[in-house]
Structure 1
Amino acid sequence: MNDMPPATTPVTLPDVDVLREIARRVLWLSASIVDAANAGRPNDSGVKVGGHQASSASMVDIMVALWFAELTDQDRVSVKPHASPVLHAINYLLGDLDESYLPLLRAKGGLQSYPSRLKDPGTVDFSTGSVGIGATAALWAAMAHRYVSSRFPGAPAGGRFVSLLGDAELDEGAIWEAVMDPAVAKMGELLWVVDLNRQSLDRVVPDIQIAKLQGMFAAAGWQVVVLKWGRVISRLFERPGGPALRARLEAMPNEEYQRMLRVGPAQIAERILAGGAGGTDAPQLKALLDEIAPADLAVAVRDLGGHDLGLLVDTFRSVDPHRPTVVFAYTVKGRGLPTEGHPSNHSALLSAAQMDALAVTSGMERATPWQRFEPDTAAGRLCAERGGALRREPVTPTAPVALPAQLGHGYRKPTSTQAALGRLLADLPRDAPEAAARVVTCSPDVASSTNLGGWINKTGVWSVEDRHDWFADDAERVLRWREDSKGQHIELGIAEVNLVSLLGELGVTWSRWGERLIPIATIYDPFVSRALEPWSYGIYAGGQSILVGTPSGVTLAPEGGAHQSITTPSIGLEQPGCVAWEPAFAQDLEWCFLHAMSQVGVEGGTSAYFRLSTRPMNPELARVPDDPALRERRRRQAVAGGYRLPADHLPRDEDVTLVGVGAIMPEVLEAAKSLAGHGVRAGVVCLTSPDLVFRSLQQRDSRDAGLGSGILDELFPAEYPAPLVTVHDGHPHTLAFLAAARGDRIRSLGVTMFGQSSGLADAYRLHGIDTGSIIDAALTMAGR
């Protein structure tokens, strides 16, 4: 830990006075962006527009020091959500944002409420609307860049990966899961700056516990730098009575300190001396305060490290480049605004009179708020210089990578979809080496139990540094755990949030640095819900990847309760930017997975979620045609969302249609066979993706030609209606939409209760998805 003393070498390029002038303009612009959104636009909805002028103000100096003195075009910065107006103001001064967008915060076609990498018109490196998760994105991007650089020597160089986060974000568990990952301690390109303004949304934080936070970062191998006081007040600390002044200010509770900021300059000395402050040094303290003009004292007590531009620049340039660094920069929330330090300033909006006063102190006019600096001024020249230095060339993507439609080895023995995935990945380096080179797998300590062993044995485990394999000579070891910078599997600790956060950043390397990856992560399906928010965030931010949840459902019967997933099929169907799959048979898995891989890491691509099972399935049940043309037709149907069994069955002969998904298909097929013995003609539909079938339903009468395919009408032809019985080892709601296909009566069987340990047959009977329950529902729907 390093409590940085005042730097003795002043900043020469750029000049601190010029930086201060730019900071005043950025403060004005960021406040005006919020003001224009709330007071400058018609709003007849009754819904407030909002914004965060105070949260932006505390970040102004930190961000000005970075953008106008420190960053290069290779650096990537994650900006705390509530400081988005500052980022927009800086991008505007750098010539990266057109003036027309400044009045359009939170308006359609304008600036997003929080930084958005895909939706904002100016340069935004990371989407940060999810507090805590966006802050860690830069960390995972740094790891993704390291991976790309180690695998592809021609990849573009990377600079620093910077996260600017609020102190309240340190309450988020995602922060500490990321910080504590062992590999992170080796990543000197990481720089985090904590805006320590000691306020959250509702209150002044009573105890920031800075020492505890320092210790937690230090224990994880980070360099810790604390910028508490600026140079102005630090010089006062060196005078007689100065140590007593410092002791008094640092002993103040946060609430008392911020209340002092709200009084007039003439009252500040009195508040410092209140309660016998200074002890035996009280006379010296009083003498020091008597020597300082009230206006100067008011400036001094606000001189925190996070507002000293020279100190900030010197700090950013002097940190240890060999390990990650966190800078705790003390700031004042609302710095320079009339709401400065007020406990309720988080979402407070400046009044018209307060904006008029801010215009005066900023040297601006409210009528013309969007003035840039004149080009021939020092500030104007610096803005132009930095705008040019930070401008990035468009990314040139790598040459297209061909993925086969199938590997074509055939499946003759019963196998689970989870095992089929392991075989597919293990075969890929031989059958499609160019595509395999772009695959990177990840797992939260479940690689071996999710069948990634064959892939790992062939490709190795990636690590930020080479590690000696002490078990290399162990003849009994099946899984060869070779860790070096050339591997293609990244193993994380038991932290699902870390897993999907890294997955998202691996999934944007094609657009960040022009190097396509196909990231694939395996996770126990019950824990998809735990990882849902960061997974969704990654997709929102442009990450394209494949998440494999396995094993799934109550089919994992002996594991019971907490290891049985219920709602994940609905989660997959409802997730934007993602296609959810649940193939039943190994051949279906191969076809669908290769198709999903082809959609990852490309312009207009999409993520995928696969729900797999450990239940072995007899491939003969799938009745895959031998004829090449019919086999290709089956493949196209599987990739579109589903197919009928058998393929030559005529829907017009059906009394009832049974619809199954995934591991439950043997029970569905057995029920159809038994129903035939009762004189009930049951058709069977096997869905590989309820998600795609739902999209096909949505496509009807839609002008959006890209929404889905015609697979729904192929599976459920309108001219042959029949009652439906849907069966799913998941929540029955997932397939309930099929009633809208033709207006059929429907009975949806599925899992709606928590599971328990049992045998497979007992589990299916318990939840009413066994063969007997399917038969009973079908007879009822057929009127028998």
Structure 2
Amino acid sequence: MTPTTASTGLELPAATDGLSDEVFAAIEARVLWLATAIVDHANHARPNPTGLKVGGHQAPSASMVTVMTSLWFSQLQPDDRVSVKPHASPVLHAINYLLGELDQSYLPTLRQFAGLQSYPSRTKDPDPVGCSTGSVGIGATAPIWGALARRYVDTHFAQTTSAPWAGTGRQYSLLGDAELDEGACSEAILDPMVTEFGEVVWIVDLNRQSLDRVVPDIGANRLQGMFTAAGWRVISVKYGAVLQELSTRNGGAELRDRIDTMSNPEYQRLLRCDAGQLRARLPGQGRDAASISALLDTLDDKTLLSAVRNLGGHDHRALADAFAGIDDTRPPVIFAYPVKGYGLATEEHPQNHSALLSPDQLSLLADRVGTSVDDPWATFSPDSAEARWCQLTHERLRRQPTESVTPPPVPTDLGRTPTGIGSTQAALGRTLLDLNRAVPAVGERNVALSPDVTSSTNLAGGVNKVGVWSAVARDDWFSDYGETFLHRREQSSGRHIELGIAETNLVGALGELGTTWSRWGQPLLPIGVVYDPFVERALEPWSFGTYAGGQSILVGTPSGVSLAPEGGAHQSIKTPSIGLEQPGCVTCEPASALDTGWMLLESIAKLGRPGGTSAYLRLSTRPIDQSPANIPDEPDARERRRRHAVAGGYLLRRATSPAVTICVVGAMTPQAVEAAERLESLGYLADVVCVTRPDLLFRGLQARRGVSEAAEWILTSILPADRARPMVTVLDGHPHTLAFLATVNNVPATHLGVSGFGQSGDLDSVSRYHGIDTSSIVGAALDLLD
């Protein structure tokens, strides 16, 4: 028998796939209740002695209940992963609870310390979370880069050799329409390689409301055109079965055209009308008003109220048809039209985004869905059809345990001692080549990424050696052309990934490549290289990737005033300080080529494992003489220098009886050494401390004061109390980065660095302009000694 909606007489499609409309509706209603009750308990039932707003999002959750219930209970497969829009996290927890993946004790803990997180978190939530979200637009794009990471793992470690790639799991992204305003989304969908990722599925919650208003013109056609132009397949799920059936009746085509052409605010206002107001407003004033009115006269009030809000985003069968239309040959985007706050008393109120139901409204919701405010966490009766379907879904989604591979050991020293003139940027490429040759097992897990700056960041040699990764081999039409130094052999065995110029895409991919150890048991050692001035642009998605468990190395090069001829726009200032302050990572700014190699190896060794950390390396193109590094020849002394370098710094120049201490970072080391020599000629001896990892020194200082746990021995080694003297700090970045060093022994200090926008010019002129040249260091020291 063909089912019908209650009290409407309108026919619905027959049930398929074993999930009846009645069982689906019951599960959907329970998910809506649980998601709403989770937020309500956090705000109304849990003690809140501080009075601070707890918050939560009942209406944004409600708009996604149908989509998520349909996805989990009829579509997902074990290897699929889903990025859930941040404000729908209560829906995710409600579904996981019904599937037996979340203990009931957690339901009252939303936004409580050690409880359910505000937004889905892979590393902090107690239940399964496919992708961490919360930073608008960043979590939405994660499935794209997750697809890239999975393909890379499969092509290198033979997890599968079959196509389509969706056979290894689809990558779903559930996002709000407002998230499409974020540049991260448009940059991701426009990258040329993304059109090949047929396993990526985006589902856009097109509820046409933002934080506190109805968006006047959401531009659905414009958005769909953007995806179409980028090579995506666009699927629109606008109307449910009731409205579709009505459109076949007399006056139905006119009604549908009227709804299609009215503005978003007018339509949203209709959803807050009673039946009488609807009959007066819905026909409008156009030539079709009479036909529409005649159709509405055939409907009772309940049917009319139901029909006007019967959008595709709340029709399980319409959504199932959309899912069935995915062919895995190119990424689809499904525009699902829901009602924001669907099923709640706040439904379609223009300011319902953060609105909470009153106690009376919550009780009415409980009565309607068949539950109780006195027993909010009740599940289905064990012998019910709903409970059986939840159990079947749990079994269908059960993943096989993944055997984790331990990353190969990384050597601490490759034995090379660079001489002559060189830069730390050049040392990056050289170290990676040496590592590939010395330890192939490590090299095969290294994957380098760059946003179209391969040659200008000294990666060309490595690319020529390991090739460019592509899931499908491509012809190199310049292979027989001898006048190019960069050979792009694109094949599945390649170990360099080159994206477009968008840094956000690069670090998004970097974060997902850094999670393969925890997702599929195959650790990768990803290194992304960008111009250092653009680290700030890339920082948010990289930081969020680190928060989500991604372990990677971000290299910023060239940096600072080394790019003086190119002007102030390409001279980074704040990045040393940002690196010091970035959680989940260690920052490195080496002075010599050997320091670069040591710190790179140390950073690689901490990737792809539980408890691992990310790293940020700030490198320079400035060529400097390597001999002042004074690398010891004796093995034990060399190892001691290495340990100091990777721990945070070392004493580069030790005076017999110092009058002043000069602490220097990176490419400014030659000026510091020259300043010490000039001071000596004036009768003042100086210690020169080369700082390589400022954040480790700061952590050591915090540990000394009992507010953190870190190694503090390095402070005693490089800044012993018996050699405490007035201090000058200098770096090619903001001076406050090293200001804390003066407090190690509480000495007077002057801090030199770059605190203004740069200028074009030669390196000496620009250094003088910023006051970081040799004369400025000498002058600062003399002022302190006076």
Q: Does 1:378 align with 2:388?
A: no
Q: Secondary structure at the match of 1:610?
A: strand
Shift of 1:464: 3.0
Distance in 1, Cα, partners of 2:553 & 2:260: 50
Pick from 212, 223, 228: which aligns with 1:213? 223
Q: Is contact 1:155–1:515 with CA below 8 Å preserved after alignment?
A: no
Q: Secondary structure at the match of 2:722?
A: coil
Distance in 1, Cα, partners of 2:704 & 2:477: 60
**Distance 1:201-1:672 versus aligned 2 partners, 3 A rule:** same
Distance in 1, Cα, partners of 2:626 & 2:195: 47
Shift of 1:756: 1.0
Distance in 1, Cα, partners of 2:707 & 2:728: 31
State the match for 1:223 in structure 2: 233
Distance in 2, Cα, partners of 1:273 & 1:701: 73
Cα-to-partner distance string for 1:119-171 (whole Å, 9 max, x where unaligned): 11111111111011110001110111011111110379621000000011111
Q: Is contact 1:11–1:314 with CA below 8 Å preserved after alignment?
A: no
**Distance 1:749-1:130 versus aligned 2 partners, 3 A rule:** same
Q: Is contact 2:13–2:317 with CA below 8 Å preserved after alignment?
A: no
Cα-to-partner distance string for 1:7-52 (whole Å, 9 max, x where unaligned): 9674242112211110000000000000000001111212100100
1:383-402 counterparts in 2 under 5 A? 383-402=390-409
Q: Does 1:689 align with 2:689?
A: no
Distance in 1, Cα, partners of 2:159 & 2:46: 49
Cα-to-partner distance string for 1:746-784 (whole Å, 9 max, x where unaligned): 10000011111111111111111111111111111122x
Pick from 701, 721, 744: which aligns with 1:741? 744
Cα-to-partner distance string for 1:280-323 (whole Å, 9 max, x where unaligned): x4443222211111101111111100100112122212212111
Q: Is contact 1:580–1:609 with CA below 8 Å preserved after alignment?
A: yes
Q: Does 1:469 align with 2:476?
A: yes
Pick from 18, 23, 29: which aligns with 1:13? 18
1:351-500 counterparts in 2 under 5 A? 351-500=358-507
1:250-269 counterparts in 2 under 5 A? 250-269=260-279
Distance in 1, Cα, partners of 2:148 & 2:21: 34
Distance in 2, Cα, partners of 1:105 & 1:761: 57
Q: Is contact 1:183–1:464 with CA below 8 Å preserved after alignment?
A: no
Q: Does 1:27 align with 2:32?
A: yes
Cα-to-partner distance string for 1:703-755 (whole Å, 9 max, x where unaligned): 754x2341111111123321000010000000000111010111000001111
Q: Is contact 1:698–1:708 with CA below 8 Å preserved after alignment?
A: no
Distance in 1, Cα, partners of 2:179 & 2:350: 18
Shift of 1:406: 1.2
Moved more, 177-186 or 388-397: 388-397
1:74-153 counterparts in 2 under 5 A? 74-153=79-158
State the match for 1:289 in structure 2: 296
Paired residue type of 1:523: V
Pick from 258, 270, 273: which aligns with 1:248? 258
Distance in 2, Cα, partners of 1:25 & 1:265: 27
Pick from 637, 641, 663: which aligns with 1:659? 663
Q: Does 1:702 align with 2:706?
A: yes
Shift of 1:486: 1.4
1:662-673 counterparts in 2 under 5 A? 662-673=666-677
Distance in 1, Cα, partners of 2:334 & 2:102: 29
Cα-to-partner distance string for 1:363-383 (whole Å, 9 max, x where unaligned): 111011001111211110011
Shift of 1:396: 2.2
Q: Is contact 1:167–1:195 with CA below 8 Å preserved after alignment?
A: yes
Distance in 1, Cα, partners of 2:12 & 2:581: 53
State the match for 1:57 in structure 2: 62
Distance in 2, Cα, partners of 1:255 & 1:704: 53
Distance in 2, Cα, partners of 1:720 & 1:450: 40
Q: Is contact 2:155–2:471 with CA below 8 Å preserved after alignment?
A: no
Q: Does 1:164 align with 2:174?
A: yes
State the match for 2:635 in structure 1: 628
1:505-544 counterparts in 2 under 5 A? 505-544=512-551
Q: Secondary structure at the match of 1:126?
A: coil
Q: Secondary structure at the match of 2:282?
A: helix
Q: Is contact 1:187–1:324 with CA below 8 Å preserved after alignment?
A: yes
Shift of 1:361: 0.6
Shift of 1:616: 1.2
Q: Is contact 2:406–2:523 with CA below 8 Å preserved after alignment?
A: no
Q: Secondary structure at the match of 1:529?
A: helix
Q: Is contact 2:12–2:242 with CA below 8 Å preserved after alignment?
A: no
Moved more, 617-626 or 256-265: 256-265
Distance in 1, Cα, partners of 2:665 & 2:120: 39
Query: Superposition RMSD on alpha carbons, in Å?
Result: 1.4
1:31-42 counterparts in 2 under 5 A? 31-42=36-47
Q: Is contact 1:155–1:513 with CA below 8 Å preserved after alignment?
A: no
Shift of 1:257: 1.2
**Distance 1:497-1:400 versus aligned 2 partners, 3 A rule:** closer
Shift of 1:412: 1.5
State the match for 1:3 in structure 2: none
Distance in 1, Cα, partners of 2:491 & 2:13: 43
Q: Is contact 1:550–1:612 with CA below 8 Å preserved after alignment?
A: yes
State the match for 2:5 in structure 1: none
State the match for 1:341 in structure 2: 348
Distance in 2, Cα, partners of 1:572 & 1:122: 32
Distance in 1, Cα, partners of 2:407 & 2:502: 33
Shift of 1:642: 0.6
Q: Is contact 1:504–1:543 with CA below 8 Å preserved after alignment?
A: yes
Distance in 2, Cα, partners of 1:718 & 1:316: 68
Paired residue type of 2:418: Y
State the match for 1:780 in structure 2: 783
Q: Is contact 2:153–2:159 with CA below 8 Å preserved after alignment?
A: no
Distance in 2, Cα, partners of 1:754 & 1:681: 33
Q: TM-score by structure 2 length?
A: 0.96
Give the fraction of aligned pairs with identical amino acids, expressed as a percent.
57
Shift of 1:500: 0.5
Q: Does 1:321 align with 2:328?
A: yes
Q: Is contact 1:148–1:155 with CA below 8 Å preserved after alignment?
A: no
| Unmatched 5+ stretches in structure 1 | 1-5
Q: Is contact 1:191–1:324 with CA below 8 Å preserved after alignment?
A: yes
Paired residue type of 1:689: R
**Distance 1:400-1:519 versus aligned 2 partners, 3 A rule:** closer
Q: Secondary structure at the match of 2:74?
A: coil
Q: Secondary structure at the match of 1:590?
A: helix
Distance in 1, Cα, partners of 2:536 & 2:17: 52
Distance in 2, Cα, partners of 1:159 & 1:607: 27
Moved more, 313-322 or 386-395: 386-395
1:587-598 counterparts in 2 under 5 A? 587-598=594-605
Distance in 1, Cα, partners of 2:290 & 2:461: 76
Q: Secondary structure at the match of 2:175?
A: strand
Q: Is contact 1:70–1:317 with CA below 8 Å preserved after alignment?
A: no
Q: Secondary structure at the match of 2:616?
A: strand
Distance in 2, Cα, partners of 1:583 & 1:168: 42
State the match for 1:676 in structure 2: 680
